[in-house]
Structure 1
């Protein structure tokens, strides 16, 4: 990276802020896992759909609010972390990417939580691997080093991977037959119960 010290300082400030926001999203992820799995376990497909709608909408609205805050504050945020004007300028330059990351991170973890609550752990793992390692990192490397976009290019690549992952999870969630998922959940619980009886 050109001027690597400033670039890494600016990136670490942005990643710190992004990490703070992720704590909120991870709370919604946990809520989605618990609510969806509970509703499926008790045979309530409508309840599962309602839980999905509420958690995704709430997290998304919070993400939009934070998106606007960080988009309009731009360099002012960096003043909380540093007095170096170069770093402040770079953070201001990266703020649109930070805002987009915050918006995507308000949806993607919740949808991952929905998928985990429905028992699709392996599907989520494959989607993660494909989106980050086959899409995000290669695009980031090409933009960052081949096209000379530096930190911005790497970040755009990772954002692109997250965007693809979000689209895939939205499609899967939307096209799912939740009544069928109730039956599958019941079968899993019955199978687990039978195994526990045999082992005891």
Structure 2
């Protein structure tokens, strides 16, 4: 029986502690972006951007702050989808592995797409502004989480999930509006798929956490 409420965090901290705490943080940053002074918001966005320049100088703070922003706030369709994916994953494999999958996607895909941008500028392959472009958000971690969650589904659900989600990422890449980010999303999805042995070992025989 499908129980849609199992896709949302529960107030019981023993069920989904990672996503419950993370969602509480993600509620605050959109409020800051909405109501704080524009100069402060710009400074925060600049300081938390995982562009090549920041990653070269302060990689750990930049990567940590990068994951504090979510597009559209916590009531946007994107945010609700992100919340449901991480909740479903945490109920199956627990908070530490969910956090691990998310961080793997966020850190590896960010580093792989942004760091090469520094040397590419002097070579003339990218514009001078590339090492300082604004780049923040949870997209890479979310894509990795989708990939990992797919591995816990039966084949009849896993294949269409990966096909539809992967096709949407490829379509974004073909549109060529933000190729660095679009490549990162595909890479993060592949990272999530690569974690299947880990998440399946934890999720095998473990029912979703009870409310």
TM over 0.5: no
Task: Please report the TM-score for the alignment, with normalisation by the length of structure 2.
Answer: 0.30
Larger radius of gyration: 1
Task: Please report the TM-score for the alignment, with normalisation by the length of structure 1.
Answer: 0.32
